Every structure is written in structure tokens, then in C-alpha cells.
Amino acid sequence: MTSAANARHRALGLTDSEYERIVDRLGREPNDVELAVFSLMWSEHCGYKHSRKLLGRLPTEGEHVVMGPGENAGAVDVGDGLAVAFKVESHNHPSAVEPFQGAATGVGGILRDVFAIGARPIAVLDSLRFGPLDSSRSRYLMNGAVAGIGHYGNSIGVATVGGEILFGEPYEHNCLVNAMCVGIAPRERLVRSAAAGVGNLVVLLGALTGRDGIGGASVLASAELGEESASKRPSVQIGDPFEEKKVLECCLELLDRELLESLQDLGAAGLSSSASEMASKGGVGIDLDVARVPRREPGMEAFEVMVSESQERMLCVVEPGRLEAVRAVCEEWDVRCTAIGAVTDTGRLRVLEQGEPVGDMPVEALVDDCPLYDLAPERPSESVYAAPRARLDECADPADTLIALLRSENIASKRWAYEQYDGLVGSRTVRRPGSADAAVLHLAHDGASGAIAVSIDGNGRRVACDPYVGAVEAVLECARNLACVGAEPLGLTNCLNFGNPEKPHIAWQLEQAVAGLADACRALGVPVVGGNVSLYNEGGGGPIYPTPVVGMVGRVPDPGSLPEAGFVEDGHAIVLLGPFRPALAGSELEALRGEMAESLPKLDLEAHTRALATARTAVRAGELATAHDVSDGGLACALAESCLARGIGARVDLAALVARLGESDDEAGALEAALFGEGPGGIVAAGPRGSVEQLVASLTPDTALILGETGGEHLAIQTGTTARLAIEVAAAREAFEHGVADHFS
């Protein structure tokens, strides 16, 4: 092997052994076009070479599954002849380099994944992670990412209805931008991406091809970020939501008219991945002539056209006799339509330039022969993460602690961000961001009854403490958010954000987290219908927290009587539902004190599954006015958040919960855990006293505790006759509303 060949393939992210494998499959050394295509198809981002074996452990089958993993998006049956398509993907590395365009094109890409299978996008949710906001870099990244998400979603007219934003030191140099899209379609309109029909034409739709995004999948998404990351800004794609709107409507009309045999998004690796994956799924070959590809930059070489990640482009297969009809529809929508190739029976991806071959590769080698690596997981002897910076004195009294928690970035209102998004466009939104734990969207526009609920969740710090339990908790929290609006989960998508899997401790985190996701999904009976893996999320400060993000869709039979997340009326009884056993390990309070646990309490998946079913039933009965899950900051924060919705206070007695936790002789520790401890299973609910008492009578004391009553202008918490804390609702609101916003004022 020559030194020049060494330099070429290593610069593209291929190892020496991978290069030798390519030479073996081709029977010769690859030329520049072939090497560029192989480098992308065998990159981590496209080939999943360190995670594909693990992903096979996830359950993917269920009675509602219409499309599972392997397509552009997954889809589930929601009845009345409709399917809901959804998927979550990351755009982490591009957003860390150029946050506005990185986040904007992340939204554009996930929208295309959904309409590529024939579903109309109706909602976007986002899951974001940044460093602490006292860092100018973190503020820059968050400001740019939020603006980019708002720009793309608002411009294209798809509502951003929910999401989460969390902060931590390990995300300062490598932020996370995960975007989830939900779409809806008649079941019979769904289309797959497999190319079919030898002699059919391969047609490129949409924007001009340029040099933006070249190397994105291999240069950015499949390697750690270093000090030279700013120089990679040209690898970040540039998005145009107005062009995408035209492409979206054009594609849906083409599918309605049954003019397409198959449809595929051009995402990471551009034509290289879209063409080879379509050919692989169809068991065919594809010839492409790069000279036919419309370009916006002169002098582009063949390999640049093949690897460009220019946005707002789709690839489709069309019967020759239907090409003119396809062109007519494209002309109506002002969408470029160019036949650039054909389906063949060769089983090869052939790249031509003005009819002359410049690349010839077996499809099987590109897609199915990507090397898959066994991880070498090893549990670290000590935490690989520095403890968070202490921000709260351990001696602070409970009232001051609660105010500090409400002001902390992870708990404080994210209104500053979500008010930049249009959450109502499309007129489907039943619950605005902040008014319920899950977004709820009407199905009535499509002639169906009911609604769907959608949520996205994850907590990297808790997964860092215990990868298995933390991943289980992410699934449970997502399902609990759906239960708070009466929705039963139908399917799940995930985005696995981790560091460098070649490092044993990262491999251990990844393996444990996937095991936790698999066990939780099986216990709840929720299939995984698709997702994304984002590895090598490391910068100068080390790896990010291991951050599996879970998105879930459920069906809501009757959206007309949904509870709210906050208290709605004086005199309602407050009840704590679920097998909630909070602990300070992994909690936001622990982080504020500058500490980090190395494990989380074990949990009983069967008990949590039963409790979720009970909560759904209670909500669907329509007798609960409030349902809000207990999450970051524990029960005291959940109660305070419920008070803030309409400014209604509460009087609460936690004696029974403290007794539930009182196996240890440390009464002070049990009280603090009851107030601020975290863990899965808790839902704060409220309603008319008679209804609540009837509900509690049907349950056991370990799954239902009456805590008190709504009313007044204070949140007052006691145990028996002993007052523990009292704060004005107005003071709680001041802390909650300004914790994030003040950093951007």
C-alpha cells in the first residue's frame, strides 16, 4: 500500500484494515470516487459499525407496528385507517460547529425522513443539551440552536409542540441537538424506499447540489471534535425551509397520484447513501450520471457530487412512462425534477460522468459488508466525570433549597426558548408547551376520532450514574408523561448519544443503556420502530454524559377532558400516585451540591408497568383535573410547578411518604429525599375530594397517598404537625421564570 493511499483513506476516517477490505471486495485499489463513497458508507454515522449488533437486542415487533427499523421513519397504526410516522435523529456535531444551521438542518432532515414514507409532518419536538449558561460558549450554542429550530419549523409551518432542554458541564464543548418529527398518513399511502423495477428511472427532486455538507457524515459525525472544529464549518449544511415546503407538498402529491415506485431522503452522505441503500433494499443495482445532477457551484468533481449533503433533496424511482406526469406535478410546485440514472439488475452502484464510468462498486459491499465491531466494555473503577460545580450550600434550609432548585437551569422554565417556536400552526395542538407533560395533537383533521400524545425524554446525568437504570428510567418517564394525558404507548424511537465507543468505559455505558432500554420496552410492551445512534460525542473536556433520548407516541381516546399539569381550582385533594421511592442519588439537588452518585436505586419494572396502567385509567375516567409527573427536583418541585400554572397554592403533609422511605434511622435524610429526591414512578394528581378518595380506596398505600389540598397563595409542606417549608407562589414563580431567561437578557 502506498503512502499516498495511506494518507487518502486515513484522512477520510478509514482504518488500514478497512481499506484492505475495500481493496479485497473490489479486487483492486479504489479510485477517488469509490474511496469517498466507501468512506461515508463505512463511517460510524452511516454504517453503525460499533452499535448495530447491540441494536438487534431491542424489541421491534408489536400489534400496532406498520413500519419498523430500516425505513426512513417508523410508523404505527392509530386506527380509522391512519398511521402515525415518527423518528428522532441527532445533529450534534454540526450544531457544535455552527449552531444555527446545524439545528435548522437537523429539523429539515427529520421532516424529510417522515414525508419520505408518505406522511405529512404535523409536529416537531426537540431534545437539547448544553453546558451551564454561565459559559459564553453555552449561551452562544443555545441561542443559535434555538433560533435555528424556530427558523426552520416556523418557516415551513410545522408546529414545535414539545421537548426538553437540560444542562451540564460535559455538554459545554459538544452540545446535543436531537429533533423528533411526527407525521400522519392514510395507511395505504405509506411508501417504502426499496428501489424496484429494472429499467425504471432514478429521479432527483429539489434543491441544487453544492459543496455544503461535504464530509459531514465522516468528518463531523464519526469522529471526536477537537480544537480545529471551527475549521469544519464548511461541512455543515445550509438549509432552506421554503424550498423544503415545496418539496414536501410535491412529494405528497406525487404519492397521492401513485406516480412513484419508491422515495428516499438525501441525508447523510447524500447520493452515496440514498442510492446504495435504495438498491440494497430492493436487491438491485443503480447507475447514476453525476453530470446530470443540477449544481449551484461550478467545477464540482464527481466525488463531490456523490458525497454532497446539500439539503432539501429527495431521490425517487419512476417508471419511464410516468416521468412526464411526475415532471408536470413538480412544475406546479416549482420543484426541480431531473432523471439522473436508472435501476439495473447488476447489484452494483455505478457512477458515470457524461456516460463514462468513474466508479463501480458492489451494493452489497457498500451496505451489507460494512465492518461490524465487537465492543470491549469495561466498567470503570471510578467515575470518568468530574463532579458538577457546587452551587448550593448543604446547610441551606428547605425553603431556600426549593427556590434554588426552581431557579436552576435544568428545572427553570424554558419559556425563553419555546416562545420562539410556533406551537399552534396546523391547528392540531390540544395542549401548548408547558401546560401538560406530553404534547397532544388532534386527529380530527383526518376524519379520525381522538388524538395522539407525544413526549421526548432523557437524563444523561442519571445515566452516567447508572447506565442501565438511567436508561430504564428514560423509558418510564416518557411513558409516564403519556399516562398523565391518558395515552397508552404504541411505539418508541430513540437517539443514543454517547462518547467514543472504542473506549472501554464508553462501550460499557452503551451496552448497559441498550440493555436497559430493551428491558423497559419489553416490560411496557412498547416496540422500537426506529431511531438513531450518535457516537464520538467528545470534545476537549472529555465525553458527554451518556444520553439515550427516548421519544414515544400514544393514542388518546378522548382529548376533550384532559387534566392539566397544574392545579386548576381551590379545594381539590392532592394525591401522589405510583410506586415512588425517591432518593438523592442522581438528583438535581445532588448536582447543585457538587456531588455525583455512582449508582441509582434498583427498581421493579412490573410494579411501574402496573402503576402506569392505573394512572392512564384514572385520567381517562375524566375525574382528575391535574396530573403532573415528578421529575427533576423531586416532589417539592413538582408541587411548586403545579402551583405556578394558575397561581394556586397548596397545603401538603408528607408524613406518609417519609414513613414509606423510613427504613433507615436517618429521619432527616428521609425527609430530604421525600422533598427533593428523584426516581421514577411519581405522579402528582388532584381533583374533587370525593373522586380522589374513591381512587385511593381502590389502590394500595404503596401506590397512592393523599397529600393535602389546593388553595391559598403559599406552598406549605409539613410532616404531621411540624412545618417543613413554606414559600409564596409568587416567589416560586419569580425563581422559575428567570432561571434561564436572565442569562439572555
483-514 residue pLDDT tens:
999 999 999 999 999 999 999 999 999 999 99
Q: Tell me: do 231 and 341 sit in the same domain.
A: yes
Q: Residue 659 is part of a domain; what is its CATH number?
A: 3.90.650.10
The answer to whether 416 touches 398, Cβ cutoff 8 Å, is no
| pLDDT score recorded for residue 226 | 54
| pLDDT score recorded for residue 665 | 58
Q: Tell me: do 295 and 415 sit in the same domain.
A: no
Q: Tell me: do 367 and 407 sit in the same domain.
A: no
pLDDT for 344-355, tens place per residue?
999 999 999 999
| pLDDT score recorded for residue 381 | 86
Catalytic: 173? no
Q: Tell me: do 347 and 232 sit in the same domain.
A: yes
Q: Tell me: do 284 and 418 sit in the same domain.
A: no
Question: What is the end-to-end Cα distance of the chain in Å, rounded?
Answer: 58
Q: Tell me: do 330 and 297 sit in the same domain.
A: yes
pLDDT band at 231 (very low <50, low <70, confident <90, very high): very low
Grid cell, residue 606, equals: 412490573
Q: Tell me: do 397 and 370 sit in the same domain.
A: no
| pLDDT score recorded for residue 143 | 97
Residue found by looking up cell 478497512 in the block: 18
Residue whose C-alpha is closest to residue 182's, from 314, 66, 73: 73
Measured N-to-C along each axis, helices 241-256 and 136-156 cross at an angle, to the nearest 10 degrees, of 40
Q: Is 105 a member of any domain?
A: no
Rg over alpha carbons for the chain, rounded to the nearest Å, is: 26
Q: Is 93 a member of any domain?
A: no
Q: Tell me: do 592 and 618 sit in the same domain.
A: yes
Domain end marker among 316, 340, 374 = 374
| Average of per-residue pLDDT values in the chain | 93
| pLDDT score recorded for residue 4 | 56
Between the ranges 221-235, 506-520, 557-571, 662-676, where is the mean pLDDT highest? 506-520
Q: What angle (nearest 5°) sits at the alpha carbon of residue 362, between those of residues 360 and 366?
A: 105
Q: Is 520 a member of any domain?
A: no
Residue 444 CB contacts under 8 Å (≥ 6 apart), including other chains: none
| pLDDT score recorded for residue 235 | 57
Cα–Cα dist 170/131, whole Å:
7
Domain count for the chain: 2
What does 575-631 look like in DSSP terms, one character per residue? Answer: EEES----BSTT-HHHHHTT---S------HHHHHHHHHHHHHHHHTT--SEEEE--
pLDDT for 607-647, tens place per residue?
999 999 999 999 999 989 999 999 999 999 999 999 999 99
Cα–Cα dist 456/160, whole Å:
12
Whether the per-residue pLDDT at 213 is higher than 80: the answer is: no
The answer to whether 271 touches 308, Cβ cutoff 8 Å, is yes
The one catalytic residue among 45, 151, 714, 743 = 45
The one catalytic residue among 9, 50, 64, 91 = 91
| pLDDT score recorded for residue 232 | 45
Containing structural domain, residue 246 = 31-41+192-374
The predicted model scores a pTM of 0.94
Q: Tell me: do 398 and 250 sit in the same domain.
A: no
How many Cβ atoms from other residues are within 10 Å of residue 355's Cβ?
Answer: 9
Q: Is 37 a member of any domain?
A: yes
The answer to whether 588 touches 678, Cβ cutoff 8 Å, is yes
Q: Tell me: do 323 and 402 sit in the same domain.
A: no
What does 381-414 look like in DSSP terms, one character per residue? Answer: SS-SSPPPPP-S-TT--HHHHHHHHHHSTTTS--
Q: Tell me: do 210 and 331 sit in the same domain.
A: yes
pLDDT for 178-210, tens place per residue?
999 999 999 999 999 999 999 999 999 999 999
Catalytic: 91? yes
Residue 683, CB-side half-sphere exposure with 13 Å CA sphere: 36
The answer to whether 698 touches 707, Cβ cutoff 8 Å, is no
Whether the per-residue pLDDT at 224 is higher than 60: the answer is: no
Q: Please tell me whether residue 496 adopts helix, strand or coil conformation.
A: strand
Task: Give 663's strand partners.
Answer: none
Q: Tell me: do 617 and 673 sit in the same domain.
A: yes
**CA torsion 634→636→640→642, rounded to 10°?**
60
